[in-house]
Amino acid sequence: MVGLSYEEIRRILRKIEFDKTEPKLLTGLIDKAIRLGERERRRISKMRERIGQLSDFLQENGIILELKPDANLLDQLKKSAVGALDGSYQVISGSGGQWFGFFGFSRVLAKDGFCVNPEITIEALIEPFRCADESEAKIICTEIMMRGESKTLRYLGEELRGHEKSYILIDGPIIDPPLYKDPDYISFRASTIKFCINGGISVIGFVKRIVGSGFIKFLKSTFEERLDLSPFFNDADLLSGLLYMTFSRLRCQVYTKPVNLFEFLDKNDPMYTVYSLYSQYGFNIYHSYYKPALRSRVYRIELASASKLTDDELKSRIKEVLSLICYVWTLPGMNEPLPILLAHEKCNIRQGAAEKLYYEIITRSLTEEEAHLWLS
């Protein structure tokens, strides 16, 4: 039997769920879905026209830029040391308010520049704790994971210090998540980032999920009434269509002008509070969005700097970082750089694995009576 892909399995499951739905209910929903689909078609048609106008305007004003390979730069970047890191967790409920967090941390290291088999280090952790419910348990696990990732960043920084030019790719944002304001954690993570920067290491966030509307706020602040951005609810809504259309026109990879989005956030935005706490430690975080392929998603690249960069310095640094990611470490047929893919895959704890560890290993040491109480 030929194995099915994950997407094929999902399609089969969707059909099963569809077929199990009450026919009269389905008839009403199908009728409404057809009418809604027509309205969506008209809305998207208007958005496409608006995006075309925006694409022209933003290219003319230097907000959307072309990314093209520079042979001399690439020769240097292929020799540069690169590290990457990621962390993951799963949480399982025990008995009597007891919870178990299963954590994985990975770091990828290519000290001598580009290679297809970099050094990989994996660390595992199981942390028991008590709390009231699953939402609180996930918050606790997120905090534990973030502290573990910051320690992993420190380890990579120590490994790469002393290299003439090196880079660390974080799978996710440099400041993550925006609501975690623990002073001790912020102090440790900020000092770790500065430790890397002061050692000549570029700290880069590779963000796969675009949330918020910081880029829209930047455009509104920069161009005021010259742009009508009302059809777009958030950055993902705007950038997915905008960069797709620009890419298809130019036939090359495109990215947005790098900016410090913190300067354009409202003071009542949760991100503003956290960014201001980090800014006290004397570094800036710059953001740029890019699309590596016509059918790929949009990614955000973040760059931490110990000083405020001029526009020319910033464009040069971001072009360097994007060239490293796109032309050196992203292999043909892929949209994400190899170190990020490896770091994510090697630390990924799947739900089924965590459940097996809990039910078949942790509970094995219990007597029959204890297991009944534990699992009831």
Distance CA 57, CA 140 (A): 45
Query: Which residue, 337, 117, 295, is CA-closest to 206?
Result: 337
Kindly state whether residue 288 falls inside one of the protein's structural domains. yes
Q: Alpha-carbon distance 343 to 208, whole Å?
A: 14
Q: How far apart are CA 222 and CA 233, in angstroms?
A: 18
- Higher-confidence position of 156 and 264: 156
Structure-block tokens of residue 94: 């025990």
- Residue 274: inside a domain: yes
Chain mean pLDDT for the chain: 89
| 109 lies in some domain | no
Identify whether 230 is part of a domain: yes
Average pLDDT of the residues in 101-121: 96
Residue found under tokens 């161009």 = 223
User: Residues 306-323: pLDDT tens digits?
Assistant: 888 999 999 999 999 999
Distance CA 141, CA 122 (A): 18
Share of the chain above pLDDT 70, in %: 94
Beta pairing class for 201-207 and 299-305: antiparallel
pLDDT tens-digit readout, 36-70: 888 888 877 877 888 888 999 999 999 999 999 99
What total of structural domains would you count in the chain? 1
Residue bearing the bigger pLDDT, 92 or 224 = 92
Q: Is residue 75 part of a domain?
A: yes
β pairing state of 166-171 and 253-256:
unpaired
The 3-state secondary structure of 161-194 reads: CCCCCEEEEEEECCCCCCCCCCHHHHHHHHHHHH
> In the structure encoding, which two tokens stand for residue 123, read together?
């660390």
Residue 108 and residue 332 in contact, taking contact as beta carbons nearer than 8 Å: no
> Can you give the pTM of this predicted structure?
0.88
- Of 66-80, 109-123, 215-229, 334-348, the poorest mean pLDDT is in 215-229
Amino acid residing at 163: H
Do the domain assignments include residue 163? Answer: yes
Residue 210 maps to a domain: yes
Provide the residue range defining the domain that includes 315. 69-83+158-352
Q: Cβ contacts of residue 42 below 8 Å, gap of 6+?
A: none
**Would you say residue 310 lies in a domain?**
yes
| Segment 261-296, tens digit of pLDDT | 888 888 887 788 888 888 888 889 999 999 999 989
How does pLDDT run across 4-32, given as a tens digit for each residue?
877 888 888 888 888 888 888 888 888 89
